[in-house]
Amino acid sequence: MLRIRRGRVIDPATGTDAEMDVWIDGDRIARVGRPGPSGDAPKSPSEEIVDAAGLIVAPGFIDLHAHLREPGGESSETIESGTRAAARGGFTAVCAMPNTRPVNDNASVTRSILERAAAAGSTRVWPIGAASLGSRGEGLAEIGAMQKAGIVAVSDDGRPIATAKLLRQVMDYCRALGLMVIDHCEDPSLFGGAVMREGRRSVRLGLSGMPAATESIAVARDLQISELTGCRFHVAHLSARASLELVRAAKQRGIPASCEVTPHHFTLSDEDVVYDARFKMNPPLASREDRAALLEGLADGTVDAIATDHAPHEAAMKEVEFDRAPFGVTGFETALGLALELVHAGRLSLMRMIELFTSGPARVLGKTRSIAAGEPADLTLLSTDHAWTFLANESASKSRNTPFDGRQFRGGPMVTIVGGRIVYRRDAEMTRAGKQIARTT
Protein backbone atom coordinates (compact mmCIF):
# COMPACT_ATOMS: atom_id res chain seq x y z
CA MET A 1 0.00 0.00 0.00
CA LEU A 2 1.36 3.40 -1.03
CA ARG A 3 -0.23 6.60 0.21
CA ILE A 4 0.30 10.02 -1.39
CA ARG A 5 -0.46 12.25 1.55
CA ARG A 6 -1.82 15.79 1.65
CA GLY A 7 -1.13 16.76 -1.95
CA ARG A 8 -3.22 19.14 -4.01
CA VAL A 9 -4.93 16.77 -6.41
CA ILE A 10 -5.60 18.37 -9.79
CA ASP A 11 -7.45 16.10 -12.21
CA PRO A 12 -8.61 17.78 -15.42
CA ALA A 13 -10.69 14.72 -16.37
CA THR A 14 -13.06 15.43 -13.46
CA GLY A 15 -12.23 19.08 -12.80
CA THR A 16 -11.01 18.14 -9.33
CA ASP A 17 -8.73 20.61 -7.52
CA ALA A 18 -8.59 19.77 -3.81
CA GLU A 19 -6.24 18.60 -1.09
CA MET A 20 -6.64 14.85 -0.87
CA ASP A 21 -4.83 11.64 -0.15
CA VAL A 22 -4.39 8.98 -2.79
CA TRP A 23 -4.03 5.36 -1.79
CA ILE A 24 -2.41 2.95 -4.20
CA ASP A 25 -2.75 -0.80 -3.98
CA GLY A 26 -0.51 -2.70 -6.33
CA ASP A 27 -0.61 -1.08 -9.73
CA ARG A 28 -4.01 0.60 -9.29
CA ILE A 29 -5.42 3.54 -7.40
CA ALA A 30 -7.38 2.12 -4.47
CA ARG A 31 -8.99 5.22 -3.01
CA VAL A 32 -8.96 9.00 -3.24
CA GLY A 33 -10.20 10.93 -0.24
CA ARG A 34 -9.98 13.74 2.22
CA PRO A 35 -6.76 13.81 4.20
CA GLY A 36 -6.72 12.38 7.71
CA PRO A 37 -5.62 14.41 10.70
CA SER A 38 -2.09 15.64 10.27
CA GLY A 39 0.62 13.25 11.34
CA ASP A 40 -1.66 10.24 11.33
CA ALA A 41 0.17 6.97 11.43
CA PRO A 42 0.12 4.45 8.61
CA LYS A 43 -2.96 2.26 8.78
CA SER A 44 -0.83 -0.82 8.41
CA PRO A 45 2.86 -1.41 8.89
CA SER A 46 3.23 -2.09 5.18
CA GLU A 47 1.83 1.33 4.21
CA GLU A 48 4.48 3.54 2.66
CA ILE A 49 3.84 7.27 2.70
CA VAL A 50 4.88 9.88 0.15
CA ASP A 51 4.52 13.29 1.70
CA ALA A 52 3.02 15.48 -1.01
CA ALA A 53 2.33 18.54 1.15
CA GLY A 54 2.93 21.62 -0.99
CA LEU A 55 2.97 19.53 -4.17
CA ILE A 56 0.47 19.00 -6.92
CA VAL A 57 -0.70 15.46 -7.57
CA ALA A 58 -1.62 15.07 -11.24
CA PRO A 59 -2.56 12.09 -13.38
CA GLY A 60 0.52 10.55 -14.99
CA PHE A 61 1.87 12.63 -17.87
CA ILE A 62 1.70 11.19 -21.39
CA ASP A 63 4.12 12.18 -24.16
CA LEU A 64 2.53 11.58 -27.56
CA HIS A 65 5.75 12.07 -29.48
CA ALA A 66 9.23 10.81 -28.71
CA HIS A 67 12.16 9.07 -30.36
CA LEU A 68 13.73 6.43 -28.13
CA ARG A 69 16.16 5.36 -30.89
CA GLU A 70 16.10 1.67 -29.92
CA PRO A 71 16.54 -0.48 -31.94
CA GLY A 72 19.38 0.81 -34.07
CA GLY A 73 20.34 4.14 -32.58
CA GLU A 74 21.56 3.04 -29.16
CA SER A 75 24.56 5.38 -29.20
CA SER A 76 22.06 8.27 -29.00
CA GLU A 77 19.41 6.74 -26.73
CA THR A 78 18.03 3.46 -25.49
CA ILE A 79 14.62 2.54 -24.16
CA GLU A 80 16.28 2.33 -20.73
CA SER A 81 17.95 5.79 -20.83
CA GLY A 82 15.12 7.46 -22.72
CA THR A 83 12.39 6.35 -20.35
CA ARG A 84 14.59 7.23 -17.37
CA ALA A 85 14.84 10.76 -18.79
CA ALA A 86 11.07 10.71 -19.40
CA ALA A 87 10.41 9.71 -15.79
CA ARG A 88 12.76 12.48 -14.68
CA GLY A 89 10.59 14.83 -16.71
CA GLY A 90 7.42 13.64 -15.00
CA PHE A 91 6.20 11.40 -17.83
CA THR A 92 4.61 8.05 -17.06
CA ALA A 93 3.94 6.96 -20.64
CA VAL A 94 5.82 7.70 -23.83
CA CYS A 95 4.69 7.11 -27.39
CA ALA A 96 7.70 5.88 -29.35
CA MET A 97 7.89 6.92 -32.98
CA PRO A 98 8.68 4.13 -35.45
CA ASN A 99 11.70 5.64 -37.23
CA THR A 100 14.15 3.27 -35.60
CA ARG A 101 16.54 0.95 -37.44
CA PRO A 102 14.86 -1.28 -38.42
CA VAL A 103 11.69 0.76 -38.73
CA ASN A 104 8.84 -0.42 -36.51
CA ASP A 105 6.74 -1.57 -39.44
CA ASN A 106 5.98 -5.12 -38.30
CA ALA A 107 4.78 -6.95 -35.22
CA SER A 108 8.14 -8.44 -34.29
CA VAL A 109 9.77 -5.02 -33.95
CA THR A 110 6.74 -3.81 -31.98
CA ARG A 111 7.00 -6.81 -29.65
CA SER A 112 10.74 -6.36 -29.14
CA ILE A 113 10.22 -2.69 -28.19
CA LEU A 114 7.53 -3.67 -25.69
CA GLU A 115 9.65 -6.48 -24.25
CA ARG A 116 12.59 -4.17 -23.83
CA ALA A 117 10.36 -1.55 -22.21
CA ALA A 118 8.92 -4.12 -19.80
CA ALA A 119 12.42 -5.26 -18.84
CA ALA A 120 14.26 -1.94 -18.64
CA GLY A 121 11.79 0.90 -18.99
CA SER A 122 11.07 3.38 -16.24
CA THR A 123 7.83 4.49 -17.88
CA ARG A 124 5.25 2.80 -20.05
CA VAL A 125 6.18 2.72 -23.72
CA TRP A 126 3.37 2.88 -26.24
CA PRO A 127 4.81 2.13 -29.67
CA ILE A 128 3.58 3.89 -32.78
CA GLY A 129 3.78 1.75 -35.89
CA ALA A 130 4.91 2.87 -39.32
CA ALA A 131 2.14 3.67 -41.79
CA SER A 132 4.08 2.39 -44.78
CA LEU A 133 6.69 -0.36 -45.09
CA GLY A 134 10.00 1.05 -43.95
CA SER A 135 8.20 4.42 -43.86
CA ARG A 136 9.20 4.57 -47.51
CA GLY A 137 5.82 5.82 -48.63
CA GLU A 138 5.03 2.88 -50.90
CA GLY A 139 3.08 -0.13 -49.62
CA LEU A 140 1.23 -0.31 -46.30
CA ALA A 141 3.07 -1.60 -43.24
CA GLU A 142 1.72 -4.60 -41.28
CA ILE A 143 -0.66 -2.33 -39.43
CA GLY A 144 -3.17 -4.95 -38.27
CA ALA A 145 -0.47 -7.26 -36.95
CA MET A 146 1.22 -4.37 -35.16
CA GLN A 147 -2.08 -3.38 -33.62
CA LYS A 148 -2.43 -6.89 -32.17
CA ALA A 149 1.12 -6.56 -30.86
CA GLY A 150 0.29 -3.27 -29.15
CA ILE A 151 0.77 -0.15 -31.25
CA VAL A 152 -1.40 2.84 -30.31
CA ALA A 153 -1.28 4.75 -33.63
CA VAL A 154 0.48 4.81 -36.99
CA SER A 155 2.82 7.41 -38.47
CA ASP A 156 5.74 7.74 -40.87
CA ASP A 157 7.15 10.41 -38.56
CA GLY A 158 10.47 11.84 -39.51
CA ARG A 159 8.87 12.31 -42.88
CA PRO A 160 5.33 12.93 -44.11
CA ILE A 161 3.09 10.14 -45.40
CA ALA A 162 4.29 10.41 -48.95
CA THR A 163 1.26 10.93 -51.13
CA ALA A 164 -2.39 11.83 -50.75
CA LYS A 165 -3.28 8.50 -52.27
CA LEU A 166 -1.22 6.50 -49.79
CA LEU A 167 -2.62 8.59 -46.95
CA ARG A 168 -6.11 7.80 -48.13
CA GLN A 169 -5.37 4.08 -48.12
CA VAL A 170 -3.77 4.29 -44.68
CA MET A 171 -6.71 6.25 -43.30
CA ASP A 172 -9.33 3.97 -44.83
CA TYR A 173 -7.52 0.97 -43.39
CA CYS A 174 -6.94 2.54 -39.97
CA ARG A 175 -10.49 3.77 -39.63
CA ALA A 176 -11.68 0.18 -39.95
CA LEU A 177 -9.15 -0.90 -37.34
CA GLY A 178 -10.03 1.98 -35.02
CA LEU A 179 -6.46 3.31 -35.16
CA MET A 180 -5.38 6.92 -35.32
CA VAL A 181 -3.03 8.33 -37.95
CA ILE A 182 -0.36 10.84 -36.91
CA ASP A 183 1.35 12.78 -39.68
CA HIS A 184 4.53 14.80 -39.82
CA CYS A 185 2.97 17.45 -42.03
CA GLU A 186 5.42 18.76 -44.60
CA ASP A 187 5.43 19.43 -48.32
CA PRO A 188 8.80 18.01 -49.39
CA SER A 189 9.19 20.14 -52.52
CA LEU A 190 8.64 23.36 -50.60
CA PHE A 191 10.90 22.11 -47.83
CA GLY A 192 13.77 21.68 -50.29
CA GLY A 193 17.05 21.62 -48.44
CA ALA A 194 15.91 24.03 -45.75
CA VAL A 195 17.50 24.00 -42.32
CA MET A 196 15.35 26.62 -40.60
CA ARG A 197 12.25 28.77 -41.02
CA GLU A 198 12.40 31.33 -43.82
CA GLY A 199 12.42 34.89 -42.57
CA ARG A 200 14.59 37.77 -41.46
CA ARG A 201 16.77 35.50 -39.37
CA SER A 202 17.41 32.94 -42.13
CA VAL A 203 18.30 35.74 -44.55
CA ARG A 204 20.65 37.28 -42.01
CA LEU A 205 22.36 33.99 -41.21
CA GLY A 206 22.46 32.90 -44.83
CA LEU A 207 20.74 29.64 -43.93
CA SER A 208 18.27 28.02 -46.28
CA GLY A 209 14.74 28.64 -45.07
CA MET A 210 11.32 27.13 -45.61
CA PRO A 211 8.04 29.03 -45.37
CA ALA A 212 5.24 28.16 -42.94
CA ALA A 213 3.20 26.93 -45.89
CA THR A 214 5.53 23.90 -46.05
CA GLU A 215 3.60 22.62 -43.04
CA SER A 216 0.13 24.09 -43.54
CA ILE A 217 -0.22 22.81 -47.11
CA ALA A 218 0.25 19.28 -45.81
CA VAL A 219 -2.11 19.90 -42.87
CA ALA A 220 -4.79 21.00 -45.35
CA ARG A 221 -4.24 17.87 -47.44
CA ASP A 222 -4.43 15.59 -44.44
CA LEU A 223 -7.55 17.23 -43.00
CA GLN A 224 -9.34 16.72 -46.28
CA ILE A 225 -8.38 13.06 -46.43
CA SER A 226 -9.45 12.71 -42.80
CA GLU A 227 -12.83 14.18 -43.70
CA LEU A 228 -13.07 11.91 -46.73
CA THR A 229 -12.32 8.73 -44.79
CA GLY A 230 -13.59 9.62 -41.32
CA CYS A 231 -10.30 8.45 -39.85
CA ARG A 232 -8.93 10.01 -36.64
CA PHE A 233 -6.04 12.27 -37.61
CA HIS A 234 -3.45 13.96 -35.42
CA VAL A 235 -1.00 16.67 -36.49
CA ALA A 236 2.45 16.04 -35.04
CA HIS A 237 4.52 18.99 -33.72
CA LEU A 238 2.29 21.72 -35.18
CA SER A 239 4.31 24.92 -35.48
CA ALA A 240 2.54 27.41 -37.75
CA ARG A 241 -0.39 29.76 -37.25
CA ALA A 242 -1.87 28.75 -40.60
CA SER A 243 -1.85 25.07 -39.59
CA LEU A 244 -3.50 25.87 -36.28
CA GLU A 245 -6.26 27.81 -37.99
CA LEU A 246 -6.91 24.88 -40.31
CA VAL A 247 -7.18 22.49 -37.35
CA ARG A 248 -9.46 24.91 -35.47
CA ALA A 249 -11.80 25.22 -38.47
CA ALA A 250 -11.72 21.44 -39.05
CA LYS A 251 -12.68 20.74 -35.45
CA GLN A 252 -15.59 23.14 -35.75
CA ARG A 253 -16.77 21.24 -38.81
CA GLY A 254 -16.58 17.98 -36.93
CA ILE A 255 -13.55 16.49 -38.65
CA PRO A 256 -11.92 14.04 -36.19
CA ALA A 257 -8.66 15.97 -35.95
CA SER A 258 -6.30 16.86 -33.13
CA CYS A 259 -2.85 18.38 -32.76
CA GLU A 260 0.12 18.71 -30.46
CA VAL A 261 2.65 21.49 -29.86
CA THR A 262 6.18 21.07 -28.55
CA PRO A 263 7.73 23.06 -25.70
CA HIS A 264 10.50 24.36 -27.96
CA HIS A 265 7.97 25.78 -30.40
CA PHE A 266 5.93 27.53 -27.73
CA THR A 267 9.08 28.85 -26.02
CA LEU A 268 11.48 29.89 -28.79
CA SER A 269 11.21 31.48 -32.21
CA ASP A 270 13.42 31.63 -35.29
CA GLU A 271 14.93 34.83 -33.87
CA ASP A 272 16.69 32.57 -31.32
CA VAL A 273 18.53 30.53 -33.95
CA VAL A 274 22.33 30.78 -33.87
CA TYR A 275 24.99 28.70 -35.60
CA ASP A 276 24.54 25.88 -33.12
CA ALA A 277 22.77 22.69 -34.18
CA ARG A 278 21.03 22.51 -30.81
CA PHE A 279 18.67 25.04 -32.38
CA LYS A 280 18.01 22.86 -35.41
CA MET A 281 14.87 20.77 -35.46
CA ASN A 282 12.08 19.94 -37.87
CA PRO A 283 9.69 21.66 -38.03
CA PRO A 284 12.09 24.50 -37.35
CA LEU A 285 11.53 27.23 -34.79
CA ALA A 286 8.78 29.40 -36.22
CA SER A 287 8.15 33.13 -36.31
CA ARG A 288 7.09 35.15 -33.29
CA GLU A 289 3.61 35.50 -34.81
CA ASP A 290 3.35 31.73 -35.08
CA ARG A 291 4.50 31.34 -31.51
CA ALA A 292 1.84 33.81 -30.35
CA ALA A 293 -0.80 31.79 -32.22
CA LEU A 294 0.42 28.56 -30.59
CA LEU A 295 0.07 30.13 -27.15
CA GLU A 296 -3.51 31.05 -28.00
CA GLY A 297 -4.20 27.55 -29.27
CA LEU A 298 -2.79 26.01 -26.10
CA ALA A 299 -5.06 28.20 -24.00
CA ASP A 300 -8.28 27.99 -26.03
CA GLY A 301 -8.35 24.21 -26.49
CA THR A 302 -7.44 24.01 -30.17
CA VAL A 303 -4.22 22.29 -29.17
CA ASP A 304 -4.89 18.90 -27.58
CA ALA A 305 -1.52 18.07 -26.10
CA ILE A 306 1.97 19.21 -25.32
CA ALA A 307 4.36 16.64 -26.81
CA THR A 308 8.13 16.78 -26.61
CA ASP A 309 9.33 15.37 -29.95
CA HIS A 310 12.29 14.24 -27.84
CA ALA A 311 14.89 13.56 -30.54
CA PRO A 312 18.26 12.62 -29.09
CA HIS A 313 21.40 12.69 -31.22
CA GLU A 314 24.82 11.75 -29.90
CA ALA A 315 27.26 14.66 -29.62
CA ALA A 316 29.33 13.85 -32.70
CA MET A 317 26.28 14.11 -34.94
CA LYS A 318 25.36 17.60 -33.73
CA GLU A 319 28.93 18.94 -33.41
CA VAL A 320 29.07 19.77 -37.09
CA GLU A 321 28.21 22.57 -39.51
CA PHE A 322 24.64 23.76 -38.92
CA ASP A 323 23.39 22.70 -42.34
CA ARG A 324 24.92 19.24 -42.01
CA ALA A 325 23.54 18.39 -38.57
CA PRO A 326 20.50 16.16 -38.15
CA PHE A 327 17.23 17.74 -37.02
CA GLY A 328 16.00 17.30 -33.46
CA VAL A 329 16.39 18.27 -29.82
CA THR A 330 15.87 16.41 -26.56
CA GLY A 331 12.83 17.41 -24.56
CA PHE A 332 11.65 15.12 -21.75
CA GLU A 333 13.31 16.84 -18.83
CA THR A 334 12.52 20.43 -19.74
CA ALA A 335 8.91 20.06 -20.96
CA LEU A 336 7.16 20.65 -17.64
CA GLY A 337 9.49 23.46 -16.60
CA LEU A 338 8.82 25.24 -19.89
CA ALA A 339 5.05 24.70 -19.63
CA LEU A 340 5.11 26.11 -16.10
CA GLU A 341 6.71 29.25 -17.52
CA LEU A 342 3.42 29.77 -19.38
CA VAL A 343 1.48 29.25 -16.16
CA HIS A 344 3.67 31.73 -14.28
CA ALA A 345 3.26 34.22 -17.14
CA GLY A 346 -0.53 33.88 -16.89
CA ARG A 347 -0.85 32.35 -20.36
CA LEU A 348 -2.26 29.03 -19.13
CA SER A 349 -4.15 27.94 -16.03
CA LEU A 350 -2.53 25.18 -14.04
CA MET A 351 -5.57 22.97 -14.72
CA ARG A 352 -5.27 23.53 -18.47
CA MET A 353 -1.52 22.92 -18.45
CA ILE A 354 -2.03 19.59 -16.67
CA GLU A 355 -4.78 18.70 -19.13
CA LEU A 356 -2.31 19.21 -22.00
CA PHE A 357 -0.03 16.59 -20.42
CA THR A 358 -2.72 14.13 -19.25
CA SER A 359 -6.35 13.86 -20.33
CA GLY A 360 -5.58 15.85 -23.50
CA PRO A 361 -3.11 13.35 -24.99
CA ALA A 362 -5.13 10.46 -23.51
CA ARG A 363 -8.19 11.60 -25.47
CA VAL A 364 -6.11 11.79 -28.64
CA LEU A 365 -5.20 8.13 -28.09
CA GLY A 366 -8.77 7.15 -27.24
CA LYS A 367 -7.77 6.47 -23.64
CA THR A 368 -8.77 7.97 -20.32
CA ARG A 369 -6.52 9.36 -17.67
CA SER A 370 -7.85 10.22 -14.26
CA ILE A 371 -7.16 9.99 -10.55
CA ALA A 372 -9.93 7.67 -9.44
CA ALA A 373 -10.30 4.32 -7.74
CA GLY A 374 -9.61 1.49 -10.13
CA GLU A 375 -7.50 3.56 -12.54
CA PRO A 376 -3.87 2.59 -13.16
CA ALA A 377 -1.65 4.12 -10.51
CA ASP A 378 0.23 6.47 -12.85
CA LEU A 379 0.80 9.80 -11.11
CA THR A 380 2.99 12.83 -11.61
CA LEU A 381 3.80 14.93 -8.55
CA LEU A 382 5.05 18.39 -9.32
CA SER A 383 6.00 21.58 -7.64
CA THR A 384 5.20 24.98 -9.09
CA ASP A 385 7.74 27.01 -7.20
CA HIS A 386 11.09 25.35 -6.50
CA ALA A 387 13.97 26.98 -8.33
CA TRP A 388 16.24 24.70 -10.30
CA THR A 389 18.60 24.79 -13.23
CA PHE A 390 18.54 22.27 -16.03
CA LEU A 391 22.02 21.02 -16.80
CA ALA A 392 22.29 18.91 -19.91
CA ASN A 393 25.29 17.01 -18.61
CA GLU A 394 23.19 15.74 -15.69
CA SER A 395 20.44 14.51 -18.00
CA ALA A 396 19.37 10.88 -17.87
CA SER A 397 19.25 10.91 -21.66
CA LYS A 398 22.32 9.64 -23.48
CA SER A 399 22.26 12.80 -25.58
CA ARG A 400 22.78 16.47 -24.80
CA ASN A 401 21.28 18.21 -27.82
CA THR A 402 19.05 20.72 -26.08
CA PRO A 403 18.75 24.48 -26.55
CA PHE A 404 17.78 24.78 -22.87
CA ASP A 405 21.06 23.81 -21.21
CA GLY A 406 21.57 26.03 -18.17
CA ARG A 407 18.02 27.42 -18.20
CA GLN A 408 16.61 28.30 -14.80
CA PHE A 409 13.16 27.02 -13.98
CA ARG A 410 10.54 27.63 -11.35
CA GLY A 411 8.75 24.38 -10.62
CA GLY A 412 9.03 20.95 -12.15
CA PRO A 413 8.61 17.22 -11.62
CA MET A 414 9.15 15.90 -8.07
CA VAL A 415 7.90 12.30 -8.04
CA THR A 416 6.88 10.06 -10.91
CA ILE A 417 4.81 6.96 -10.21
CA VAL A 418 4.13 4.32 -12.88
CA GLY A 419 1.83 1.42 -12.06
CA GLY A 420 2.21 2.07 -8.34
CA ARG A 421 6.01 2.05 -8.57
CA ILE A 422 8.02 5.19 -7.78
CA VAL A 423 10.30 5.56 -10.82
CA TYR A 424 11.66 9.01 -10.06
CA ARG A 425 12.08 11.01 -6.86
CA ARG A 426 13.76 14.37 -7.01
CA ASP A 427 14.52 14.46 -3.28
CA ALA A 428 16.25 11.07 -3.46
CA GLU A 429 18.27 12.21 -6.45
CA MET A 430 19.28 15.40 -4.68
CA THR A 431 20.32 13.44 -1.60
CA ARG A 432 22.43 11.11 -3.73
CA ALA A 433 24.05 14.06 -5.47
CA GLY A 434 24.69 15.65 -2.07
CA LYS A 435 26.38 12.51 -0.82
CA GLN A 436 28.58 12.37 -3.87
CA ILE A 437 29.66 15.93 -3.31
CA ALA A 438 30.35 15.18 0.35
CA ARG A 439 32.51 12.19 -0.58
CA THR A 440 34.65 14.03 -3.06
CA THR A 441 35.38 16.97 -0.78
Partner 1 sequence: MPEYLRNLLSIEQLTTEQITFLLDESKPFQEFQRHPLKKLATLRGKTVALAFFEPSTRTRISFATAASRLGADTMNLQAESSSLKKGESLLDTVRTLDAMRPDCIVIRHSSSGAPDFVAGKLDIPVINAGDGTHEHPTQALLDALTIRDRRGTIENLNVTIIGDILHSRVARSDLHLLARFGCRFTLCGPAMWLPGEFECLGAQVRRTTRIEEALEGADAIIVLRVQQERLHEPSLPLDEYVLLYQLNPQRLRRARPDALVLHPGPMIRGLEIDPTVADGPQSCVLEQVTNGLAVRMALLFLMIGARPEGEPTKGSTHAAD
Chain residues that interact with partner 1, rule: CB under 8 A: 192, 198-200, 202-208, 274-276, 316, 319-324
Q: Which helix (H) or strand (E) holds 435?
A: helix 426-440
Angle between helices 288-300 and 241-252 (to 10 degrees): 30
Query: Residue 124 and residue 311: Cα distance in Å, rounded?
Result: 18
Annotated active-site residue 309? The verdict is yes
Smallest distance, partner 1 to C-beta of residue 69, A: 21
Q: Which helix (H) or strand (E) holds 186?
A: none
Provide the sign of the torsion angle of the four alpha carbons 165, 169, 172, 175, taken in this order: negative
Query: Residue 289 and residue 44: Cα distance in Å, rounded?
Result: 57
Residue length of the chain? 441
Smallest distance, partner 1 to C-beta of residue 350, A: 39
Query: Residue 154 and residue 96: Cα distance in Å, rounded?
Result: 11
Residue 148 or 204 with smaller CB distance to partner 1? 204
408 closest CA partner among 432, 425, 389, 422: 389
Residue 38 or 189 with smaller CB distance to partner 1? 189
Smallest distance, partner 1 to C-beta of residue 195, A: 9
| Nearby residues of 405 by Cβ (< 8 Å), 6 or more positions away | 278, 390, 391, 392
Query: Residue 359 and residue 421: Cα distance in Å, rounded?
Result: 21
Residue 280 or 352 with smaller CB distance to partner 1? 280
Q: What angle do CA 380, 98, 84 make, to 5 degrees?
A: 30
Residue of 304, 309, 323, 405 marked active site: 309
Smallest distance, partner 1 to C-beta of residue 322, A: 5
Answer whether 77's CB lies under 8 Å from 67's CB. yes
Residue 5 or 278 with smaller CB distance to partner 1? 278
Residue 119 or 321 with smaller CB distance to partner 1? 321
Smallest distance, partner 1 to C-beta of residue 200, A: 5
**Full DSSP string of 216-241:** HHHHHHHHHHHHHHT--EEETT---H
So which residues are the catalytic ones?
309
